[in-house]
Chain A
């Protein structure tokens, strides 16, 4: 079965700790994305990557970092610099970046206390 996996489903951290969210896809998609979803707000783009070893900031990149060492993987690190890290994080991928629809993973709910 082709798809996008995110792990873990729920994640709890103490304030001041960095945490890394996993995203893996076996769809052979070139582009991958990270979004954040908060109640009452639309999904907001954090980072995206069009090819391996290349990525760009989205609208809300401050306090986050990413890497793209393999086509299949696009992990997101939420650093202690992110002021409001508690949110639902969604990873997505698309065949390319020329207008193709994005397919989403199941999400990771991060709670920082």
Chain B
């Protein structure tokens, strides 16, 4: 069974304090790993897609990386507006375009 595990469940940072969120996966064959941001009461917002180990993508203060077992979302010098839940999802071989989601990391950035 395909599994996606995100850690930590919750993370509290001071403004400017860089950190990383983890998404580990156990799948039969990875066809894509997706990162989303979700604000309370809203739909997830697409951030990145990664396809192969070693791939990296950046957007503003966020950088996503991928290995054969896990992905990291690095947040550099975060601001309060980066506070949200970050979701990781995988698409696997034979799964069509179905995404399997982790339970998310709730990030709070304080002044």
Contacts and interface: CB of A to CB of B under 8 A. Distances in A.
Interface of A: 4, 6, 31, 40-45, 48, 58, 90, 92, 94, 96-107, 109
Given A43-B87, A101-B34, A48 B97 contact: yes
A108 to B, nearest CB: 10
A45 B99 contact: yes
Interface residues of B, number: 24
Chain B binding site: helix, strand, loop or mixed by DSSP? strand
A42 B97 contact: no
B68 interface: no
Contacts of B31: 99
Contacts of B42: 106-107
Given A99-B31, A99-B32, A99-B91, A42 B43 contact: no
B41 interface: yes
A104 B43 contact: yes
Nearest to B35: A101
A66 B80 CA distance: 39
